[in-house]
Structure 1
Amino acid sequence: MTTTSYQTPLNSRYSSKEMQFNFSDQKKFSTWRKLWLLLAESEKELGLNITDEQLDEMRQNIDKIDFQLAAEEEKKLRHDVMAHVHTFGACCPKAAPIIHLGATSCYVGDNTDLIQLRDGIDILLPKVARCISRLAKFADQYKDLPTLGFTHLQPAQLTTVGKRACLWIQELVMDEQNLRETRNNLRFRGVKGTTGTQASFLQLFEGEHDKVKQLDAKVTAKAGFQRSYAVTGQTYTRKVDADVICRLSSLGATAHKIATDIRLLASRKEIEEPFESTQIGSSAMAYKRNPMRCERICSLARHLISLVQSPLNTAAVQWMERTLDDSANRRITLAEGFLTADAVLQTLQNVTEGMVVYPKVIGRHIANELPFMATENFIMAMVKAGGDRQECHEQIRVLSHQAGDKVKMEGMDNDLIERIKANPYFAPIHAELDKLMDPATFVGRAPQQVEEFLTGEVYPILEPYKGQLEGSVALAV
C-alpha cells in the first residue's frame, strides 16, 4: 500500500473486498473485453466474416491486461476506449481487425457500467437481508420488554424494545424492495451505435434490419440481461444512474436513523453497540464507551445521502444525444455510492449482531415517568369505585405538579405514587396501584404487532436469501 499518495478510505478502511473488486480496473477492463467478444461472437453467428480462431484468441486474453501499455496508449491517444482496443489488439493480433467492429465507445463503457450496477446491487441485497435478519431476531427477543416511547424526544406512552426495532426493520424492508425492484428493472444499453440509431450495424449487415435487431438481442442475452433499452442516444439515459443512487441514498437515510436512535439510547445507557474488551473510547477519558460504530454509520450515511445530487444534476444537463461532462463525474459518484452503501451495511450488520440491552436501566427510566402516564388509569379506577371524575382530575393535577416540582426543582425522584398513597381521597384504589402501574399494561398491542409484522412481512422477505444469511462481520478498524 502506498503512503505517499491519496487512497480513498472507502477502500483502505471501510468497504468489502468484493465491492472494491466490482469497481476495480481489472473488473472494468476485462468486462470491456468480454463485451467485445460477445459482440464478435454474435456478429459471426449472424453471418459476418469472423473466424473461430479470432474468437478463441480473444477468449484466451480476456484477463491478460497490460495496464502499463494501456496507460501509455491513453496518454498518446487521449481516449481510454481506443487505448484498450489497441492494448487488446496487441495480444490478439489475429482478432485485432474485428475488435470493436461497428461499436462506439459507449458500447463497452455504458454496458460495463450497467453490469457493475447490477452486480453491485447483487452484492448489497444479501447484506440488507442480513441486517434485517439480525434485527428481526433482536425484535423477537425483546418484543415484550417495555420501554419509554418518545415523541419530540420527550417521554411518551410506553412501547417495547422489540417494537421500536420493528420501526428500523420496516425501513430496511422498504430498502430491500426498492433495491430489488431497481435491479430487476435495469436493462442493457445493448448494441446501438454512435447516436443510438444503429446506423453502423445496419451498414455492416447491408440494410438487414432484422439482423441488427437480432444482434442487439443476442448480445443483451449473452451479457445476462433480459431486455435492452428500446431507445438510447449515444449513452443510456443518465436517469438510470440517478434512480440507482437515489435508492442507495435512501438506504443511507435508513441506516442514519437506526444508528442515531442507538446513539441516543446509548446516551441513556439503555442500549449499547458492541464494545470490545481492549477498545478505547477516549484518549483522555478512560471510562468512555463511545458509540463509534454508529457514529461511523451516520458519518458514511451522510456522505451517501449527499451523493444523489450529482447524478441528478448530470441527468439534467445531458444535451441532445450526449455530452462528455458526465464522464469524470460518474467515475467517482457511481463507485463511491456503492462502496459507501457497502461500508454502511457492513458496519450496521456488525452493530446489530452485538447490541446489548440493559433492562434494569430501562426499568428505572420507566419508573421515573410512568406515574405521570398512569394518572388516566388512576382516574378511571376512581370513577369505577364511585368517585367524581372532575374532582379526581383536580386531585391528580395538584399532586402531579407537586411531584413535578420535586423532580425539576430539587432533582428528586418522582414521588407521585407515594403522594397518592398518602392521600386518603385515593383510599378506594390504594390496593390497586401496583397493578395499575404494571408497565406491561401500557404497551398496548406492541408484542403482538412485533409477531404479526415479523411473520407477515419480514420472514417472507428473508426467504429468498436462505443460505446467504450466515456469517458475521468483523470490522477492519
Structure 2
Amino acid sequence: MASNNDVFQNPLNSRYCSIEMKYLFSPRNRFSTWRQLWVYLAESERSLGIDVSDVGLAQMKEHIRIEDDEFETAAIEEKRRRHDVMAHVHTYGLKAPAAAGKIHFGATSCYVTDNADLIFLRDALNLILPKLAGVVQRLSKFAIAYRDLPCLGYTHGQPAQLVTVGKRASLWITDLLDDLHNLEYVRERLLSKFRGVKGATGTQASFLEIFKGDHDKVKSLDKLVTEAAGFHAAEISTSQTYSRKIDTDVVHALSSFGSTCERTGGDIRHLAMFKELEEPFEADQIGSSAMAYKRNPMRSERLCSLGRKLRNFSADAEQTYASQWLERSLDDSAIRRIVLPESFLCADACLILLNNVSSGMVVNKAVIQHRIDQELPFMATENVIMAMGELGYSRQEVHEEIRVLSHQAGAVVKQEGKPNDLLDRIRATKYFQPIIPELQALIDPAAFTGRSAQIVQELVETKVAAALEKYAGVLASVKDAELNV
C-alpha cells in the first residue's frame, strides 16, 4: 500500500490552507451535503403528499454523515456503474433501506451536485469574508500607528514626493476594501441563485409528473428545498445545471483579490529590498541556506506566488462557462472539481499570509530617515526657490544657482558614494544667505507629506469603520495567523 508520501500532494492542502477550508471541500463534507439535500427533498416531497415513511425519513436523517467504511462501498459501485451520484444513492440506500425507493425521487444528478456546489460556494465565502475583514483591521491599525512617519514615495521606481508609511498602507487597505465589497456582493447574489429542483433539462417535467400535473406543488417543492438549504430564492430558469456564469462571477471576485495580493506582496518585497520595511522574521528562521545573514521576504514572495495563481483561475471559469452546450455538457465537470476548491483554498492561503504579515511588520525608521536624507535636499529645492522669490529674487536666477549646486551634490552622491551635501553647499553660498535662518524649516520632512496623516485617519474612521461594522463580533476573537511552513 502506498502512503501519502508516495503520491502527489496538492501543496494548498498539505502546506498552506486552514483546516476549516480544507474540510469544506473534503469528500466527507461533499457527500454528506448530498445526503442532506436528499433529506430536504424527501421531507419537502412528503409535506406535499408524496409517500415517504417515518422510518425511512428517520433512517435518512440518522445517516446524513457518511462514514469511513461507506467510501469504499461507493467507490466499488462507482467503478461498476461509472456514475458517482448513483453510486452514492446506492450507498445511502444501504443505510436507509426503508427510504431507498424515495432517495433522489424525481431528481437528476445535478440536484445534488450543483446544489451542493452552490452551498460550498456560499459557505466558503462565509469563511473568507471575516478573514479578509481581519486583515483590513490589522492593516488599519498599522496605518494609524505610522500615519505621521514620513518616507520616500516612489513613482516609476524612482524617489518621489514624500508620503508616510501609514499613507502607503492605506493604498493596500483601499484595494482590500474593494475586494471585501466584491466578495460580499457575489455572496449576496448567490443567495438568490439556488438551483433547487429543476429536473433533467430544467423543465421540472419529472416533478410535474409525480405531482400529477400540479404546477403549484412543483413550485412549492422548489421553494421548500431552497429555504431548507438556507437560500433566499432559487433561479427561475436553469438548464440541467445552474449557469456556470455564477462560477465565473464568484471566481472573478476571488481572482481580483489575488491580484491585490500580488500587488501588495510586491510592494512589501520592494520595501524589504530597500530595507525600509520587513515582514515578521522568527528567531530560528533561516533566510538562505548559503548566506546566513539574509532575511528574505519569503511570506510576501509566497503571497505573490499564490496571488498570481489565484488571479489566473478567472480564465478557467470564463472558458468553462463559454464552452457549455445547450442544456448541458459534461466537459465542465473535471475542471470545476479543480477550479472551485482550489480558488478558495488559494484565497484562504493568501489571507493566512496577509494576516501573518500584517500582524508583525517591522518598520526600520533609521533606514527610512537615511533614504530621506539622501533625497530630500533635492526635493526641497523648490521650497528654496519660492522662499528666495518671496524676498524679491528672480526665479530664473535662483533656479540656475540651485541647479548648479544640485548637480555638484548629485555627482558627490553618485560618483563618490558620499552623503548628499546640497544643504551644506547652499549654506556656504553667499547668494542664499538671506534664507539660511529658515533653511531647516524648509527641509522638514513633515512639511512634504501633505495630508497623508489626515487621509489615513479619514479612511479608517469612515470607509473602514463602515465596512467592518458587520464583522465586529468575529473580529473581536480573530487571532494572529501562524504559518505551517
TM-score by length of 1: 0.99
Structure 1 CA distance for aligned equivalents of residues 260 and 242 of structure 2: 29
Structure 2 CA distance for aligned equivalents of residues 468 and 347 of structure 1: 19
Q: Please name the residue that 2:377 is paired with.
A: 371
Secondary structure at the counterpart of residue 160 of structure 2: strand
The structure 1 residue matched to 2:27, chosen from 25, 28, 31, is 25
Structure 2 CA distance for aligned equivalents of residues 51 and 238 of structure 1: 36
**Displacement after TM superposition at 1:237 (Å):** 0.6
What pairs up with 1:97-112 in 2 under 5 angstroms? 97-112=101-116
**Displacement after TM superposition at 1:397 (Å):** 1.1
Residue 9 of structure 2 aligns with an amino acid whose one-letter code is: Q
- Assess, with a 3 A threshold, how the Cα gap between structure 1 residues 173 and 217 changes in structure 2: closer, same or farther: same
Q: Please name the residue that 1:472 is paired with.
A: 480
Structure 2 CA distance for aligned equivalents of residues 308 and 178 of structure 1: 14
Structure 1 CA distance for aligned equivalents of residues 81 and 65 of structure 2: 23
Q: Which sections of structure 1, spanning at least 5 residues, go unmatched?
A: none
Establish whether residue 153 from structure 1 lines up as the match of residue 157 from structure 2: yes
Structure 1 CA distance for aligned equivalents of residues 277 and 88 of structure 2: 54
Establish whether residue 318 from structure 1 lines up as the match of residue 324 from structure 2: yes
Residue 44 of structure 1 aligns with an amino acid whose one-letter code is: R
Residue 165 of structure 1 aligns with an amino acid whose one-letter code is: A
Structure 1 CA distance for aligned equivalents of residues 365 and 199 of structure 2: 65
Residue 458 of structure 1 aligns with an amino acid whose one-letter code is: V
**Displacement after TM superposition at 1:400 (Å):** 1.0
Q: Please name the residue that 2:269 is paired with.
A: 263
**Displacement after TM superposition at 1:239 (Å):** 0.8
Contact 2:183 2:253 in 1 (8 A): yes
Deviations 1:36-83 (A, max 9, x none): 010010001011111222111100010134000000000000000000
Q: Please name the residue that 2:177 is paired with.
A: 173
Moved more, 31-40 or 466-475: 466-475
TM-score by length of 2: 0.97
Q: Which sections of structure 2, spanning at least 5 residues, go unmatched?
A: none
Contact 2:53 2:98 in 1 (8 A): no
Moved more, 252-261 or 78-87: 252-261
**Displacement after TM superposition at 1:410 (Å):** 2.0
Q: Please name the residue that 1:2 is paired with.
A: 4
Secondary structure at the counterpart of residue 98 of structure 2: coil
The structure 1 residue matched to 2:286, chosen from 280, 283, 298, is 280
Secondary structure at the counterpart of residue 97 of structure 1: coil
Residue 479 of structure 2 aligns with an amino acid whose one-letter code is: G
What pairs up with 1:198-347 in 2 under 5 angstroms? 198-347=204-353
Residue 317 of structure 2 aligns with an amino acid whose one-letter code is: P
**Displacement after TM superposition at 1:406 (Å):** 1.6
Structure 2 CA distance for aligned equivalents of residues 153 and 454 of structure 1: 27
Residue 155 of structure 2 aligns with an amino acid whose one-letter code is: T
**Displacement after TM superposition at 1:91 (Å):** 1.0
Structure 1 CA distance for aligned equivalents of residues 317 and 83 of structure 2: 23
Q: Please name the residue that 2:439 is paired with.
A: 433
Residue 263 of structure 2 aligns with an amino acid whose one-letter code is: K
Q: Please name the residue that 1:406 is paired with.
A: 412
**Displacement after TM superposition at 1:386 (Å):** 2.1
Establish whether residue 12 from structure 1 lines up as the match of residue 10 from structure 2: no
**Displacement after TM superposition at 1:147 (Å):** 0.5
Structure 2 CA distance for aligned equivalents of residues 124 and 380 of structure 1: 52
**Displacement after TM superposition at 1:227 (Å):** 0.9
Contact 2:154 2:161 in 1 (8 A): yes
- Assess, with a 3 A threshold, how the Cα gap between structure 1 residues 251 and 160 changes in structure 2: closer, same or farther: same
Secondary structure at the counterpart of residue 99 of structure 1: coil
The structure 2 residue matched to 1:62, chosen from 54, 61, 64, is 64
Structure 2 CA distance for aligned equivalents of residues 23 and 232 of structure 1: 24
Secondary structure at the counterpart of residue 159 of structure 2: strand
Contact 2:380 2:443 in 1 (8 A): yes
Structure 2 CA distance for aligned equivalents of residues 390 and 300 of structure 1: 53
Q: Please name the residue that 1:46 is paired with.
A: 48
Establish whether residue 120 from structure 1 lines up as the match of residue 124 from structure 2: yes
Structure 1 CA distance for aligned equivalents of residues 400 and 234 of structure 2: 72
Q: Please name the residue that 2:143 is paired with.
A: 139
Structure 2 CA distance for aligned equivalents of residues 390 and 182 of structure 1: 58
**Displacement after TM superposition at 1:464 (Å):** 1.0
Structure 1 CA distance for aligned equivalents of residues 4 and 407 of structure 2: 66
**Displacement after TM superposition at 1:474 (Å):** 0.9
Residue 333 of structure 1 aligns with an amino acid whose one-letter code is: V
Q: Please name the residue that 1:163 is paired with.
A: 167
Structure 2 CA distance for aligned equivalents of residues 471 and 275 of structure 1: 18
Secondary structure at the counterpart of residue 149 of structure 1: strand
Structure 2 CA distance for aligned equivalents of residues 405 and 172 of structure 1: 42
Deviations 1:82-104 (A, max 9, x none): 00000000111100000000000
Could you list the runs of 4 or more consecutive aligned residues of structure 1 that deviate by over 6 angstroms after TM superposition? none
Establish whether residue 349 from structure 1 lines up as the match of residue 349 from structure 2: no
**Displacement after TM superposition at 1:247 (Å):** 0.7
Deviations 1:108-129 (A, max 9, x none): 0000000000000000001101
**Displacement after TM superposition at 1:467 (Å):** 2.5
Q: CA RMSD in A?
A: 0.8
**Displacement after TM superposition at 1:142 (Å):** 0.2
**Displacement after TM superposition at 1:322 (Å):** 0.5
**Displacement after TM superposition at 1:408 (Å):** 1.8
The structure 2 residue matched to 1:74, chosen from 78, 82, 86, is 78
Structure 2 CA distance for aligned equivalents of residues 7 and 99 of structure 1: 35
What pairs up with 1:379-418 in 2 under 5 angstroms? 379-418=385-424
**Displacement after TM superposition at 1:256 (Å):** 1.0
**Displacement after TM superposition at 1:283 (Å):** 0.5
Structure 2 CA distance for aligned equivalents of residues 301 and 201 of structure 1: 44
Percent identity, aligned pairs only, is: 57
Structure 1 CA distance for aligned equivalents of residues 465 and 371 of structure 2: 32
Residue 457 of structure 2 aligns with an amino acid whose one-letter code is: E
Deviations 1:311-337 (A, max 9, x none): 111000100011000000100010100
Secondary structure at the counterpart of residue 473 of structure 2: coil
Residue 298 of structure 2 aligns with an amino acid whose one-letter code is: M
What pairs up with 1:82-101 in 2 under 5 angstroms? 82-101=86-105
Moved more, 318-327 or 57-66: 57-66
Residue 407 of structure 2 aligns with an amino acid whose one-letter code is: H
**Displacement after TM superposition at 1:225 (Å):** 0.1
